[in-house]
Chains A and B, each alone.
Chain A
Amino acid sequence: MSYIIEIEDLWFRYRGTKEYALKGVNMRIREGEFIVIMGPSGCGKTTLCYCLNGIIPHLIRGELRGKISVCNLNPAEHSVVEMSRYIGLVFQNPEMQLVTTSVYEEIAFALENLALPRKEIRRRVEEILTLTGLKGLENRSPFSLSGGEQQALAIASVLVLKPKVLILDEPTSQLDPWSTKLVADLIVKLRENLNMTIITIEHRMEWAAEHADRILIMDNGRIIVEGSPKDIFKTPEPVRTIGFRPPQVSEIAYRLQERGFKIPTVPITLPEAIELYEKILREGRRYGNSNN
């Protein structure tokens, strides 16, 4: 079995700090997988992303040990610019990575650096504009866009290099609900249309439950649990351990079970939940709590 990303016993500590931010991370990701990473602040998730695209150790220094392979390359041995053709990173705050004066320029920027012919640049920018829903905004200043459009632009300017892997570090945490939906829908679309390998750090459980192939939970520099959403949310423990809130439809099942009702499975998405809770009411008797 071949993996597009392979990490073995990865340790990292930032220069000048005593404690390791990563304490022996092991992770294997197959091509085309959609991975959601979650964990409390300070758990090491952003550090892990920086190791994958080479920001660590090239731009952020410290002590790095262990094995990393991304598309068969070791990011420590290739420049960040080189790695960006294989793995694209989108930050939490889109303003952090917008540098030019128009949407078109922003997307074309990375391609101009590769010295591609003008015609080819135009073609690829057009393609990405359509894909990311930014068509019609080409001439606008990036700073005049809504938060959601800015984040879509940040994604577009990473995608234009056609990386095989896209990493998003809490892409919606600074956005309002409308923008969040815009970006979340875009990520799902990329996954469906491009069959990309996508890793996103995300704390919206309902969304993760619906879309992720696998969820990795990090705490204190380690991946402590991993599994399909179905496995992760089967019991409340994995998510409650790190102080997070499971999907509401799952939470309902745990609480009914705690009160003695015989809820046969834990639904993780709304359609599943509607079907299950409806069925139980129709066949009510069999599921009554133990007091009956």
Chain B
Amino acid sequence: METPIIEVRDLWFEYPGRVVALRGINLKIHRGEFLGIIGHNGSGKTTLVKHFNGLLKPTKGLVLVDGIDTRKLSVAQLSRKVGYVFQNPDHQIFAPTILEEVGFGLKNSGVPESEIIERVKEALQIVDLNKPLDASPHFLSVGEKHRLAIASVLVTRPEVIILDEPTTGLDFKHCIQLMSIVKKLNERGHTIILVTHDMYLIAEFTRRVIVLREGRIVADGSTKSIMSNIELLEENFLYPPQVTLLARAISKYGIPPNIVTTEEFVTSYGNLLSRLSTENPNSL
């Protein structure tokens, strides 16, 4: 069996002041997964993912990245394996030019200037940001800043990319633009970990979901099984997509009750309707 890219063993974490944020997390994330992490505010989502790139170290238990204990690695070393995109890109943007902003991580690790330029160009191309390298990042639009923030993470070519509420403050159009880039990265083999309150994004993009409550994993399963479990979601102060409620309400007619996206509904409903109107016209 291949080593999980991230493995968490009985992880406990306590913030100063004896606030216990994580209480015995066990989790394996494999290469190429697209994992969603959901849960009420304060359930431990951000605390957990900050352990993956070494921003936090366990109070008790173990976090292994590609088989190596994160306590033995610096944040700089880990950043080549695990990239973390912050919630608000303004917190992340500080350099006077796009080149310096995106190339910062490489310059720090002593990569030669010519290679930095190549890799910055490559990262900007992936996020579809066609701006001069010497332009100031501060004058970018909100959507462009989010993409720039992702480029700065991509430039070190991390295997795992963590997005913590990446779409806060973005309108729907920019949000979909961002998520289609993330989807493309996943197709290229990057492991994606998405922390969000947006159940639509979870349903549409992830393949596996874990639900956190009070520092514990209370559910871990396929996106379909978690997102169509209306009772589980409500217990955790979350709400299923509208289409799931619709599918369940008319499931007695043969619509699967575990539908979580509109596309699935349309396909399944369309097939049912075609069959009803051709195969068995008289029984209707």
A interface residues (Cβ-Cβ under 8 A, vs B): 40-42, 146-147, 173-174, 176-179, 181, 203, 206, 242-245, 247-249, 251-252, 255-256, 259, 261, 270, 273-274, 277-278, 280-289, 291-292
Contact = CB atoms under 8 A, between A and B. Distances in A.
B84 interface: no
B140 interface: no
Given A176-B237, A274-B249, A284-B284, A289 B173 contact: no
| Contact-size category for B | 35 or more
**Chain B at the A interface: SS class:** helix
Contacts of A181: 239
B283 to A, nearest CB: 9
Contacts of A273: 246
Interface residues of A, dominant DSSP:
helix
Contacts of B278: 288, 292
Contact of A243 (B142, B171, B273, B281): B171
Contact of B171 (A203, A261, A282): A203
Interface string B266-284: 1001101110111001001
Given A285-B284, A286-B277, 15 more contacts: A41-B174, A173-B169, A176-B41, A177-B199, A178-B238, A243-B172, A243-B174, A245-B200, A248-B243, A270-B246, A270-B249, A284-B276, A288-B274, A288-B277, A291-B274
Contact of B172 (A177, A244, A249, A286): A244
A270 B241 CA distance: 11
Interface string B246-259: 10011001100000
B35 to A, nearest CB: 19
* A-B complex: 7 closest residue pairs judged by Cβ atoms: A243-B173, A288-B277, A284-B276, A178-B237, A248-B242, A281-B253, A248-B243
Contacts of B277: 284-288, 292
Contacts of A179: 41
B250 A285 contact: no
B265 interface: yes
A251 B263 CA distance: 9
A248 B266 contact: no
B94 to A, nearest CB: 22
A291 B275 CA distance: 12
Contacts of A289: 270, 273-274
Contacts of A274: 246, 249-250
